[in-house]
C-alpha cells in the first residue's frame, strides 16, 4: 500500500493510532522495527540532530535531504513537521511537490511566522499567522499535490500563544474548510484540559492529532475516549539517544577503556543488520563476476 494511503488510513482509523519521532534514516528504521505504523519527522529533533536550533537555521532542502534518507530506509509513512511551510503559499506548493517526489506521506504546517520559534520557548503572546493567509497556504498545498492521498495537517498554535478556546475553534473551522486533512491541536500545559475542551466543542468533524509531550502523564485512554485520532510521541528517540550518548561518552572518557561499555551497546553486527549489509552480499554474488557462487 502506498505510504500516503497508509497515513490517510491512520487518520481515518476508528481506533486511536500512534506515530513516533525519528530524526535520521537510522532512527526511522528503529521506529518501523518497533512496530509503529508511522513516523513523525520532528522539526525539533531534526534540528537538534544537526546541531542547530529549531528556528529554521537549517534550510528546508537540508531538512528534505534527511527526510529522503528516512523515507528510503523505511516502508511506513512519514508525517513531516513542516514548520510554517518555510515561507508563504508558494513555498508550500514547492514543498508539497518535493515531499511527494521523496515519498513522504504527509506534512504538518503550523500557523506561525517564518522563521519559526519552538512552541516551548517563550511562546506566550507569540504572533500567529493571519487566518486567511494560512488558509491560502493550506489550499495552495492541497491544490498542488498529485497523489490524492497525500495529507496536510494544520497545526493550531493558539493555545500555545495564549489566545484561548474561541480563537482555537475559529482557526479550526477555517483550516478545516480550507481543506486540511486533519488538525493538530497543540498545548503546552502539564494536563490536557485545553485539548479536552476543544474536543468537546469540535466534535467529530475531522481527525484530530495531538502531541502530549508536556501532558505525558495523562492516561492514553483519556485521549481515546475524547475521540482523538492520532497521538504523536514527538521527541523521545532523540531524548533517549542523548541520555545514552552522554552517559557512554562520559564513561569512556573517564575510564579510558571500552571494556565496561561493550556489554551495554549493540554490537557492530547489529549496525550491519540495520544497514541491510546482507542484501549487498547477496547482490554481489548476482552482479559481480568474481563474486558469483
Nearer to a second copy, 29 or 155 (CB): 29
Nearer to a second copy, 165 or 227 (CB): 227
Nearer to a second copy, 95 or 156 (CB): 95
Task: Map residue 55 onto helix, strand or coil.
Answer: coil
Q: Which three cell numbers mark 228? A: 482523538
The least distance separating a second copy from the CB of residue 262, rounded to whole angstroms, comes to 5
Q: How far apart are CA 78 and CA 71, in angstroms?
A: 7
Helix (H) / strand (E) element for 3: namely helix 3-12
The least distance separating a second copy from the CB of residue 201, rounded to whole angstroms, comes to 26
- The reply to whether 81 belongs to the active site is no
Active-site option among 54, 81, 103, 111: 54
The least distance separating a second copy from the CB of residue 277, rounded to whole angstroms, comes to 6
The least distance separating a second copy from the CB of residue 292, rounded to whole angstroms, comes to 9
CB 6 within 8 A of CB 37: yes
Q: How far apart are CA 262 and CA 282, in angstroms?
A: 29
Q: How far apart are CA 17 and CA 145, in angstroms?
A: 24
Nearer to a second copy, 9 or 88 (CB): 88
Query: 253: buried, middle or exposed (CB in 10 Å: 19+, 13-18, 0-12)?
Result: exposed
Q: How far apart are CA 180 and CA 135, in angstroms?
A: 9
Residues belonging to the active site: 54
Amino acid at each position: 500500500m502506498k505510504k500516503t494511503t497508509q497515513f490517510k488510513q491512520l487518520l481515518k482509523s476508528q481506533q486511536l493510532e500512534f506515530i513516533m519521532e525519528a530524526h535520521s534514516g537510522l532512527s526511522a528504521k528503529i521506529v518501523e522495527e518497533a512496530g509503529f505504523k508511522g513516523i513523525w519527522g520532528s522539526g525539533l529533533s531534526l534540528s537538534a540532530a544537526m546541531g542547530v536550533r529549531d528556528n529554521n537555521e537549517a534550510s528546508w532542502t537540508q531538512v528534505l535531504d534527511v527526510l529522503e534518507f528516512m523515507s528510503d530506509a523505511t516502508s511506513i509513512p512519514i508525517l513531516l513537521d513542516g514548520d510554517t511551510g518555510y515561507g508563504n503559499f508558494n513555498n508550500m506548493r514547492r514543498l508539497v511537490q518535493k515531499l511527494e517526489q521523496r515519498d513522504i506521506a504527509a506534512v504538518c504546517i503550523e500557523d506561525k511566522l517564518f522563521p519559526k520559534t519552538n512552541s516551548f520557548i517563550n511562546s506566550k503572546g507569540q504572533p500567529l499567522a493571519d487566518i486567511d493567509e494560512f488558509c491560502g497556504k493550506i489550499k495552495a498545498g492541497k491544490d498542488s499535490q498529485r497523489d490524492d492521498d497525500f495529507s496536510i495537517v494544520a497545526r493550531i498554535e493558539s493555545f500555545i500563544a495564549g489566545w484561548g478556546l474561541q480563537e482555537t475553534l475559529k482557526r479550526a473551522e477555517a483550516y478545516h474548510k480550507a481543506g486540511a486533512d486533519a488538525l493538530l491541536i497543540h498545548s503546552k500545559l502539564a494536563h490536557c484540559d485545553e485539548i479536552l475542551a476543544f474536543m468537546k466543542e469540535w466534535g467529530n468533524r475531522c481527525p484530530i492529532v495531538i502531541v502530549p509531550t508536556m501532558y505525558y502523564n495523562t492516561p492514553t485512554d483519556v485521549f481515546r475516549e475524547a475521540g482523538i485520532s492520532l497521538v504523536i510521541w514527538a521527541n523521545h528517540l532523540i531524548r533517549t539517544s542523548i541520555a545514552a550518548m552522554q552517559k557512554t561518552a562520559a564513561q569512556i572518557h573517564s575510564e579510558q577503556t571500552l571494556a565496561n561499555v561493550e556489554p551495554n551497546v549493540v554490537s557492530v553486527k547489529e549496525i550491519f543488520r540495520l544497514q541491510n549489509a546482507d542484501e549487498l552480499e547477496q547482490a554481489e554474488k548476482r552482479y559481480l563476476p568474481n563474486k558469483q557462487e
